[in-house]
Amino acid sequence: MLPFVDQQLHDARELMGRDFWPYGIEENRACLEYFLRQHHKQGMSDRLLTVEDLFHPSTFEVPRI
């Protein structure tokens, strides 16, 4: 347990929003696309990759409930 954990969590949410560790591709798509643009712009990849290039196709499947 961290001292003042409640205050630290409150401060983090104030600064970064309620979901500051989002999970999932769609929740992180904007960040991933920015990373890929910068990666290409700086010459670290021969072509501009897409988010879909990074992950196996099954990653994008939505489970049936």
User: The pTM is what?
Assistant: 0.70
DSSP letters, 38-64, are: HHHHTTSSSS---HHHHS-GGGGPPPP
Three-class DSSP category at 17 = coil
Q: What is the pLDDT along the chain (65 residues), one digit of tens a residue?
A: 778 999 998 999 999 998 888 988 999 999 999 999 999 999 999 999 999 999 999 988 877 77
Domain ranges of the chain: 21-45
**Which residues neighbour 36 within 8 Å (Cβ) at sequence distance 6 or greater?**
45, 48, 49, 50, 51, 54
Tell me the C-alpha distance between 41 and 49, whole Å.
Answer: 11
